[in-house]
Each structure stands twice: as C-alpha cells, then as structure tokens.
C-alpha cells in the first residue's frame, strides 16, 4: 500500500476553521484513493482536534530540530509527503529530501501568506498595495518553499494567476485545489434546511475563527456599521460566532443593540441556516472563505467585500452581493434582508454554484491523477526544474544548517 504523510502546522480542527476542513478533505481524498494516510505534527494536542485514528488516519507527534524525525520518516517509506504551509516545509523539507528522496514533496499553502500579510500591512497603513509589498522576508521564504517542492496545492484560481504574475513560478509547479463539496452531503444539507425559507429565518450572522486576523478585523468593521443597519431594521439582530473568542471579543456583546457576540458554534451550518443574511466585510486576507461556501450550501445569501468574493464565485454575480463602500454595504444588507424575491434568487444561485464550482467529483480525480503522474515521472519532473534544483543545492540550504545548529545547541 502506498503511504501519504501530511506534516501539519496544527492538528486538524474542521469545526474551528476552513483550513481544518480543507485539510480533512485532502486527507480523506488520499485515503479514498488507496493511500495509507499518516498525519504528523509538532504542535501541542488540541481538545478541538478531530479524532484522526477513529477514521483510519494514523497520528504521530514529531519534534522540531530533532533527528528523531529522520529515523521515523525513513521507517514510514512514504510515496508522498505534504507540508501544511511553508513553515513546515522549511522545518522538515530538507530532512524529507535527505532521508526519503524518492517521495513526492507537496506544499499545501492553505492561502498565500505573503499576500495576506501585505494586504494587512497596507490596511493598517491606510494605503494601497504596491510592488514593494511583495519584496518581503515572508514572500522570499514562501516562494522559495514553492520552488523547492515538486508541486504546490493552491486553493484559489485568483492566487494561481497572482503567483505566476508576480514571481518566477511555472504553471507546472501549481495545482488548483479548492474546497471540495460532496454532492450527497450537499443534498443532505439541502433536505435538512428545506423548511428554512425567507419567512422562517431571522437576523444576520457572521462567523470566523477569532484567532485569524482578517476575521477579527471584520468583527470590528461590523461593530462600526451595525448601528446604521439597526436603525433601518430595528428588530434585527446580528449574531457573531467563531472559535477561540478572546475576552475582548466577548466584551463587545451588546444585547440592547442587537449586536450579539456568541463565540463558539456547536453547529456552524445550523447557525448560518437560521440567519437570513451573512455579513462578511473582509478588508484583507487571502485564499477562499469557508464561511461563504457554508452559506451557499445552506441557502443563506451573503454581503461581502470584493476581497471576500475573490476566487469564490467565478464571475457569477447572483450568488452574493459584493460591496466595498460602507454605504453600499449597508444598503445591500438592508435590501437583501427585506426583499423576498432577491433573497430567494440569490439563495438558489448560491447553492447551485457551490455544487457546480466545488464538486469533489471534478476536483478529486484531477488531484489524485496529477499526484500519480508525478510519482511515476518524478525524476523527469525534477530534471526540468532548474530553479527548484538550484534552491535545494547545499549552498542555499540555510534552513537545514540552522535546524542542525539548534539541535546541536539543545544537546
């Protein structure tokens, strides 16, 4: 049996973040395609992590800057090793290359971290992005990681193009790997919430892991615009959910204003389906927005920014209302909340688009076929990749030497 190892930045928490959900989609896809799947991480265990072993995925704790990993990965004899974000590739990529050189090395970006970081810095500085924003330490590290790996999984079509436009990355190094929706699961959600129509639903909803900076910023944006929405819709409530709510977030809860900070949601689909409209005024970030996909699947129309819509809707202007201007966002929220005809039209369009655009029956076979093809022709693939080979050359292996120095120092 072939072996697939994922080296995770954290243990997967599909109920806490979209990144956790997507990681599980990839792991289950590889398991379904016949791989023995192993998930390893140097992170501390989490009470909110999924029980991997209960679904047949092996779990192993590994240590940073420790040669114990070398013996372990050799014993596993993997066919494919996937690094969860470039930080894990920096830590373990050279060890994988040295001790299991014939394993295909994948990088799962989750999103483009240097793009998210640049946008965050621009928002804080109150300016537009410029070319200088890409010449950062994070960009150098992340792009170097892409070039060292055999293949990188990119979650967004926008980011597929953006990476090639801004950096010397060939298309053969990238594979579009978005969220994947199972048709049967989607149909189950549709049946579950079939009675949740326009008249039954009430209020607005926002959801997102509070530890993720774009989500926290969105909460602060909602705090500013909610009084204007509330004046137009005096009986409406906004319910804000998310994993790991800090004290400063819970202190924003104002029942008298209909601004409710609820914290953890035991069932994200349920709380989204109970709401009439989702609000997602995201000002920075990257990747795809799991909250917006969840909203489409349960028929909850959304108002979001152009950044929130990036890579989500594929040009379909009926699935959500996109508004960047404050007044336009407020107008859209009121209109979508009040207009049954527009609500029903966007609700139906969103569900249809989610099934068509993110269907696992389309994306799953493409991912596994690409991995199989590269595994068979790995030597040729690497032979055509001069830049990747150059970056893996011993004179540029700073991450390896730093790790070995730390390991020696710790002894």
The confidence band for 384, taking pLDDT boundaries of 50, 70 and 90, is: confident
Beta carbons of 7 and 72 less than 8 angstroms apart = no
CA end-to-end span of the chain, whole Å? 37
For the chain, domain boundaries: 3-180+360-410, 183-357
Ramachandran angles phi, psi of 389, nearest 5°: -65, -40
The confidence band for 41, taking pLDDT boundaries of 50, 70 and 90, is: very high
3-state SS class at 151: strand
Beta carbons of 21 and 209 less than 8 angstroms apart = no
DSSP secondary structure, 339-375, as one string: -HHHHHHHHHHHHHHHHHHSBHHHHHHHHHHHHHHHH
106 token code pair: 């994948």
| CA–CA gap between residue 122 and residue 129 (Å, rounded) | 6
Beta carbons of 111 and 156 less than 8 angstroms apart = yes
CB-based contacts of 192, cutoff 8 Å, min separation 6: 269, 273
233 token code pair: 């819709």
Confidence (pLDDT) at 326: 96
Residue 197 has pLDDT above 70, yes or no: yes
Beta carbons of 36 and 4 less than 8 angstroms apart = yes
Highest mean pLDDT: which of 130-139, 327-336, 384-393?
327-336
Around Cβ 64, how many Cβ atoms within 10 Å? 14
Tell me the CATH number for domain 3-180+360-410. 3.40.50.2000
Beta-strand relationship, 58-61 and 36-41: parallel
> In this structure, which long-range contacts are made by residues 255-258, counting pairs with CB atoms below 8 Å and at least 24 apart in sequence?
257/226, 257/227, 257/230, 258/226, 258/230
The confidence band for 129, taking pLDDT boundaries of 50, 70 and 90, is: confident
Q: Would the CATH topology of 3-180+360-410 be identical to that of 183-357?
A: yes
267 token code pair: 């069932």
H or E segment to which residue 14 belongs: none
3-state SS class at 91: helix
The confidence band for 394, taking pLDDT boundaries of 50, 70 and 90, is: low
Four-way CATH pick for 183-357: 3.40.50.2000, 3.10.129.10, 3.40.50.150, 3.40.50.2300: 3.40.50.2000
Helices (H), 167-233: 183-192, 213-232
pLDDT in tens, 277-304: 999 999 999 999 999 999 999 999 999 9
Around Cβ 383, how many Cβ atoms within 10 Å? 10
Residues across the chain: 411
For the chain, the average pLDDT equals 93
CB-based contacts of 224, cutoff 8 Å, min separation 6: none
Considering only residues 386 and 267, tell me which one the structure prediction assigns the higher pLDDT: 267
pLDDT in tens, 229-244: 999 999 999 999 999 9
> Model pTM?
0.93
3-state SS class at 217: helix
Cα–Cα distances (Å) from 235 to 69, 184, 229, 232, 256, in that order, read 58, 37, 10, 9, 11
């Amino acid at each position: 049996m072939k072996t697939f190892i994922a080296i995770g930045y954290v243990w997967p928490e599909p109920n806490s973040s979209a990144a956790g959900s997507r990681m599980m989609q990839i792991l289950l896809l590889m398991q379904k395609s016949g791989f023995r799947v192993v998930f390893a991480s140097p992170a501390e265990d989490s009470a909110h992590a999924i029980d991997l072993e209960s679904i047949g995925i092996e779990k192993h704790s590994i240590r940073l800057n420790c040669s114990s990993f070398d013996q372990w990965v050799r014993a596993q004899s993997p066919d494919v090793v996937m690094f969860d974000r470039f930080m894990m590739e920096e830590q373990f990529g050279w060890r994988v290359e040295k001790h299991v050189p014939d394993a295909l090395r994948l990088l799962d970006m989750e999103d483009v971290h240097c793009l998210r970081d640049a946008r965050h810095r621009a928002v804080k500085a109150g300016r537009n992005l410029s070319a200088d924003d890409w010449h950062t330490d994070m960009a150098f590290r992340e792009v170097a990681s892409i070039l060292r790996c055999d293949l990188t999984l990119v979650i967004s079509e926008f980011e597929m193009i953006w990476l090639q436009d801004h950096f010397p990355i060939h298309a053969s190094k990238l594979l579009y790997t978005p969220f994947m929706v199972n048709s049967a699961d989607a149909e189950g959600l549709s049946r579950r919430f079939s009675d949740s129509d326009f008249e039954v639903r009430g209020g607005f909803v926002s959801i997102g892991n509070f530890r993720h900076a774009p989500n926290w910023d969105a909460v602060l944006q909602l705090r500013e615009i909610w009084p204007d929405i509330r004046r137009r819709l005096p009986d409406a409530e906004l319910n804000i959910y998310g994993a790991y709510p800090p004290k400063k977030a819970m202190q924003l809860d104002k029942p008298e204003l209909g601004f409710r900070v609820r914290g953890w949601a035991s069932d994200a689909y349920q709380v989204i389906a109970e709401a009439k409209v989702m609000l997602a005024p995201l000002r920075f970030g990257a990747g795809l927005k799991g909250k917006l996909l969840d909203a489409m699947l349960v028929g909850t129309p959304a108002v979001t920014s152009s950044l929130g819509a990036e890579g989500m809707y594929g040009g379909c202007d009926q699935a959500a209302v996109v508004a960047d201007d404050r007044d336009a966002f407020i107008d859209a929220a009121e209109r979508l909340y009040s207009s049954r005809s527009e609500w029903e039209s966007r609700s139906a369009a969103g569900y249809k688009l989610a099934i068509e655009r993110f269907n696992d029956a389309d994306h799953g076979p493409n991912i596994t076929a690409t991995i199989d093809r590269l595994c068979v022709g790995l030597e040729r693939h690497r032979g055509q990749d001069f830049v990747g080979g150059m970056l893996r050359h011993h004179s540029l292996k700073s991450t390896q030497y730093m790790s070995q120095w730390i390991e020696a120092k710790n002894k």
